[in-house]
Amino acid sequence: MADASGTLILDVTNRRWSAEILSGAQIPKEWLPQLFESPEVCGKLSKEGAEAADLKAGTPVVAGAGDQAAGAVGMGIVRAGVVSATIGTSGVVFAATDRPALDPQGRLHTFCHAIPGRWHVMGVTQAAGLSLRWFRDRFGAGMDDGRDPYERLSDEAASVAPGCEGLFWAPYLMGERTPHLDPNVRGALLGLSPTHTRGHLIRAILEGVAFSLKDTFSIFEEIRVPVTNIRLGGGGARSVLWRQIQADIYAHEVELMEAEEGAAYGAAILAGVGAGHWSSVDEACNAVTKVTTRVRPSSEASRLLQANYATYRRIYPALRSIFAGAATQQSA
C-alpha cells in the first residue's frame, strides 16, 4: 500500500486503486496487482528460493515498504506527533498521521503509511547531504589525520559561531522539491565577505540544509500536522554539530535512536509483525525502538537562527527570478 501511493493511481484516502483514474487513463483494473498492507503476508518462499537463500521453504514473505516508510518504522515514526528529519544524500522530514493530511499547494507528499489505517506526509530537500559531499569532493576535507573526512569538515565548521557572520547557503544544487517544486533553480552562496573562511562556508552549508528542512516544518504548522518529537536519522545525525544546528533551527529538542539501520531495521520489524511475533507495528516499535540521546536547542543560538531563517526564506524568490529567465534563454 505504501509503495502503491507513489504510482498516482491509488486512492490514498480509501487505500484502493482509483476507479476514476483507471477509467480516465483507460487502464483495466486487472492489469494491476493485489494491494497488501506493509505487515501483511503476501506469499511464501518457494523451494527454489529457499535453497538459493539458504532459508526454509514456506518462510512467510511480508509485503514490506519503500525506503522512507520502512525507515520511519525503524525509527518509531508510527503515531501522530512523532516526526523524523533524515539527512542522507537528500533530506526528508516525515510525519505519521491518523488522517490523510493534504497540502492544498502540493508542496508535500501524502502517502499511505506502512501501518494499516495510517498515513504519512513528507517534504524533501533534494541536496541535503549532497551539499556537503559536493564541498568535500570539490574543495577537500583538510589535512588527512586518519579520521573520516566529514568529521574533519565538522571540526572546521565548529570553529565558527552560529549564523556564519551573515553567510547563507541555498542548497538547490539539484533544483528543489519542498516547498518550491522548481527544477530550474540552482544553489547559491550569499553574503560572502573577506573575513569568511572555509569553516564559514561549511557551517553555512550545514545551516542552509537545516533551514531547507525547516520549510517542511513550517508547512506542517500551516496544515496542522502535530510535531511533539523530532527524531534525527541518516548520516547527518552522526555529526554532533549538525544535530545541535538542527535543534537550534527547528527550535525543538531532537532525539537520536539506538538503531541506525534505518529502512532495513523497519523492514525487519514489519516482517516480525507479519510473522506473528508482535500483534501490531505499534507494539513492535514500543518493544524494539529506543531513544538514546536528546539534544536541546541553545536559546541564544536558536533566537539568532530564527531571525536568519526569516532572511533565508527571502532567498528563493530572488533566485527564482534569476534562474527562470536563464532556463527560458537555454530552451530558446
Sign of CA dihedral 67, 153, 246, 200: negative
Strand-strand pairing, 60-62 and 41-44: antiparallel
Rounded Cα–Cα distance for residues 310 and 214 (Å): 11
Q: Tell the burial category of 1 from Cβ atoms under 10 Å away from its Cβ (0-12, 13-18, 19+).
A: buried
Asked if 305 contacts 249 with a C-beta cutoff of 8 angstroms, the reply is: yes
- Residues with active-site annotation: 67
Sign of CA dihedral 288, 289, 291, 292: positive
Residues 6 or more apart from 40 whose CB is under 8 A from it? 62, 63, 116, 274
Sign of CA dihedral 9, 12, 14, 15: positive
Cell numbers for 91, please give them. Answer: 533530506
State the Cα angle at 256 between 171 and 68, rounded to 5°.
60
Q: Which residue in 199, 202, 87, 188 sits closest to 135, CA to CA?
A: 202
